[in-house]
Copies of this chain bind each other. A is one copy, B any other.
Amino acid sequence: MNKHIPQSEFKTPEVTTGPLPSSRKTYVAGDQYKDIRVPVREIDLHPSANEPPLPVYDTSGPYTDPEVSIDVEKGLARTRTAWIKKRAGEHGNNIEEYDGREVKPEDNGGASGKHLAREFPVRNRPLRGTGEGPVTQYEFAKAGVVTAEMEFVAIRENLGRKQMLEDAERRVAEGESFGAEIPPFITPEFVRSEIARGRAIIPSNINHPELEPQIIGRNFLVKINANIGNSAVASSVEEEVDKMVWATRWGADNVMDLSTGRNIHNTREWIIRNSPVPIGTVPIYQALEKVNGVAEDLSWEVYRDTLIEQAEQGVDYFTIHAGVRLPFIHLTADRVTGIVSRGGSIMAKWCLAHHRESFLYTHFEEICEIMRRYDVSFSLGDGLRPGSVADANDKAQFAELETLGELTKIAWDHGCQVMIEGPGHVPMHKIKVNMDKQLKTCGEAPFYTLGPLTTDIAPGYDHITSGIGAAMIGWFGTAMLCYVTPKEHLGLPDRDDVKVGVVTYKLAAHAADLAKGHPAAQLRDDALSRARFEFRWEDQFNLSLDPETARDFHDQTLPKEAHKVAHFCSMCGPKFCSMKITAEVRDYAAGMSDNEKKDLEKLSEQGMAEMSEKYKEMGSELYLEEEAVTKANKGL
C-alpha cells in the first residue's frame, strides 16, 4: 500500500451540507428488503395551502440529512456491502474480497512530492465476481432475482404515485410516449423485467457500496448526468469533490469524472468514496496519461490494467469507444468539425497510426468479462458523434451506432448492463431519427445523450442550445441526459456553472417526463402553480428546482419581507393584478346556474353575426364620430 501521504499540502475538501429550504429528508423502507432506506425529500408548504408536503426525488445523499455527520476523510457509509455479500452468500459465494491492484506512480500521472494529491485515508479491499454465478444486476434480473437495488429504485421512482392512484379525482396524466410504457405504479418486479430486457440499468459497481441506487431506462424518470474532473490546466481534488456534492445537491443523478491531468487516481478515489450517486469515467483518458499522452503508444495491456484499476475503485460505468472502428474513420474526413469526441479521436489516431482495428473492438469480449465481475455498466461511447450541426446524422455517426448495437448484444451475452451514448450537435428536425435508430439498432438499451445542441451560434449559452435538444430527445425516449454547462466549448465549469447546468438539465428532463405522460410528474408543477396563483411566495420558491435563485430574483425587485405574503407581484403592482382579478372572476363564475351557462353558449354562437349586423347599421357614421372626438380633444 502507498504510505507516502504528504499531509500538509492538501486540505480536506469542503462540501455543502444541510437541507434545502423547507425540506425534510425522510426514508422509506422496503417490503422485501426491510433494511433499505430510500431517501425522499418532502417539501413542507405554508399552512394556508392546506396541502400535504410534496415528496420529490432526492439525489443529494446524506449531505442534506442533518442527522448524518459528514466526514469527507472517511467517506460515506458503505451500506451496500452487506447487501452484496448476503446476496453472494445466497448464490454460491461467487464474490471474493482480495487485495487489489497496487497503485502505481503512473496512475497519478507520475505526480510526486507536493504535486501528488493526497491519497484517500481509507483503503478498502475490493470485491470481484469469481466467475461463476450472477454478479451484475442484469444477471440477477435474468435469473429472476429481485435485488435490494431493484426494490430500492422501484420505491424511489414512485414518488407521489401511490397517493395519486388513491386519489380518484386527480386527472390521469396524458402524454405522447412514443412507445415508452410507464406503468401507473412501479413494482420491483417491473424493475427486474426491464433490466432483464436490457431496457434499463442500475449502475452500481460492487466496489461502490456508498451509492444510493437509481435506474436509467425510458420507462422511468429521465435522469441527468453532470461532468466534473480536473484537467492539465486547472482545478484540484478539493474542487472536484465539492463539485460532485454540489451537483448532486441540485439534482445530478449521476456524475462523470472526466479528469485528464495528473492525480487522476487519487482524485477519483476521493470522489467515489464520498459519492451517493453512480460515478462514470472514460478509462481511455487515464490510459493515455499513462503513455504520456501519445495515442499511438496505447496498448490493450495498458488499457486493461486501467479498467481493473478503476473497477476496483468502484467506478459504476465506463465509457468505451469500441465503435470507433478503423473502417469508419475516413468517413469523417469531409466533416466541418471532424472527430470531436476526445476518446473517439484518440482511438482514431491509434487505428491510423497502426493501421489496425481498434483494440477496444478486438478485445471487446475481454472487456465484457472484466466489467461483469465488478458490475461496471457499459456506456458505449459515441466517438464519432457530430461536433456541429453540419455533421449531424452523417454516415460516420450512424455506422458507429450500428456497431454499438452489435456490441450491446455481445455485452448482454456476457451478463453486462449497457447504455448507449448519443450526440452531440443536431438541429431539431434531425433529433428524432437518432432516437428511433438507437432504439431499433441497440435493442432498446437506454440511450444517454449529450444535449444535443440545436445550433452552434451561441457559445456561452450552450446549456440552453442543448437543453432544447435534451428536452426533446428525452421526450422521444432518451433515458439519461448528459448536462452541458454555460462554459461548454469555452472553459472548465466552476461551481456556479455546474449548478446552472444541473438545474437546466433537471428542467429539461422534467419537461420530458411531463410530455411522456409520466403519471406523477405533474404533481410538482401543479403544486407550484397553485402556490403561484395564491401568492404563496415562499411555497413558490421552495417548490422550485432552485429556491435560492427564485428568492434572490424576487428580492431584487421587492426586497421587503412583507412582500413575501403580499397578494400582488412586481409585474403589475398592488392595484392591477391579473391573479387577483381572476380570483374574483372565479368566485363569480362559481355562482352561475346551469341555465345561465346555457344562455352564454347561445350568446357565443350568435355573437359575431349580430355584431356584424349592428356594425352595418352604423355604416360610415364612424369616421364622423371619430373626428368629433378628435376635435373635442383639441378643445375645438
Contact = CB atoms under 8 A, between A and B. Distances in A.
A582 B338 contact: yes
Interface in A467-494: 467-468, 471-472, 475, 486-487, 489-492, 494
A174 B301 CA distance: 46
B457 A332 contact: no
A446 interface: no
Contacts of A467: 464, 467-468
A515 B452 CA distance: 13
Given A366-B622, A572-B231, A582-B348, A634 B492 contact: no
Interface stretch (A64-72, A84-92, A548-556): A548-556
A571 B490 CA distance: 8
Contacts of A510: 455, 457-458
A274 B333 CA distance: 51
A601 interface: yes
Interface in A543-589: 543-546, 549-550, 552-554, 556-558, 569-576, 578-579, 581-586, 588-589
Interface stretch (A4-12, A22-30, A323-331): A323-331
Given A369-B623, A455-B510, A486 B553 contact: yes
Given A454-B514, A526-B390, A234 B570 contact: yes
B608 A406 contact: yes
A16 B301 CA distance: 61
Contacts of A603: 325-327, 357
A35 B86 CA distance: 86
Contacts of A183: none
Contact of A607 (B233, B304, B327): B327
A226 to B, nearest CB: 15
Given A369-B626, A427-B511, A570 B260 contact: no
Contacts of A512: 428
Contacts of A176: 429
Nearest to A292: B575
Given A338-B579, A428-B514, A607-B325, A525 B388 contact: yes
Contacts of A370: 626
Contacts of A182: none
A101 interface: yes
A358 to B, nearest CB: 10
Given A327-B600, A458-B544, A525 B357 contact: no
Contact of A507 (B98, B330, B461): B461
B528 A457 contact: yes
Residue of A131, A337, A552 with most partner-chain B CB within 10 A: A337
A345 B557 CA distance: 23
A366 B570 CA distance: 34
A578 B341 contact: yes
Contact of A471 (B293, B454, B463, B556): B454
Residue of A345, A540, A622 with most partner-chain B CB within 10 A: A345
B458 A102 contact: no
Given A465-B507, A526-B388, A570-B491, A330 B471 contact: no
Contacts of A266: none
B529 A288 contact: no
Contacts of A100: 634
Contacts of A75: none
A554 B455 contact: no
Residue of A333, A494, A541 with most partner-chain B CB within 10 A: A333
Residue of A342, A464, A543, A601 with most partner-chain B CB within 10 A: A464
A133 to B, nearest CB: 14
B330 A592 contact: yes
A529 B492 contact: no
Contacts of A168: none
Contacts of A595: none
A295 interface: yes
Given A336-B526, A456-B529, A468-B468, 4 more contacts: A233-B573, A388-B526, A429-B514, A490-B570
21 contacts: A102-B634, A231-B571, A233-B573, A260-B573, A305-B629, A305-B633, A308-B630, A325-B604, A330-B592, A332-B585, A339-B585, A357-B603, A389-B529, A429-B515, A429-B517, A456-B525, A459-B541, A459-B553, A461-B503, A464-B467, A486-B553
The 3 closest A-B pairs by CB, nearest first: A232-B573, A491-B557, A338-B582
